[in-house]
Amino acid sequence: KAGVTQTPRYLIKTRGQQVTLSCSPISGHRSVSWYQQTPGQGLQFLFEYFSETQRNKGNFPGRFSGRQFSNSRSEMNVSTLELGDSALYLCASSFSGAWTDTQYFGPGTRLTVL
């Protein structure tokens, strides 16, 4: 069974630009969660999608958004990039997003904002 894939693996952008990251979950998984990982703040929850609907959102500004498609693939978008957005962005998929479901993580997209 293929794991969670994320593209691209690395991105370099400049301040003010926008970026779109993609996540393909494990086949059969309908819940996709996104996390931001930085050295200072650690892993922080961004949002979760299930059946094309955002069910939950973490404490991030509106510049961070996402969507999910009918095949459960998900994208996240960051607009008007700031230097502090430099981070590893991880997505994780699970069957339903329930707390008893295991979340499987992708390798992440390393975003550098210059």
Name the residue nearer to another protein (CB basis): 17 or 75: 75
Q: Which of 11-19, 45-53, 60-68, 76-84 is the region at the interface with another protein (rule: CB under 8 A)? A: 45-53
Relative to beta strand 109-113, strand 10-13 is: parallel
Listed residue (95, 96, 76) closest to 36, CA to CA: 76
**Placement of tokens 């390393």 in the chain:** 110
User: What backbone torsions phi and psi does residue 102 show, to the nearest 5 degrees?
Assistant: -75, 135
Q: Per-residue x/- marks for another protein, 51-90, CB under 8 A?
A: ----xx-x-------------------------------x
Q: Which residues would be at the binding site for another protein (CB under 8 A)?
A: 4, 31-33, 35, 42-45, 48-50, 55-56, 58, 90, 92, 94, 96-100, 102-108
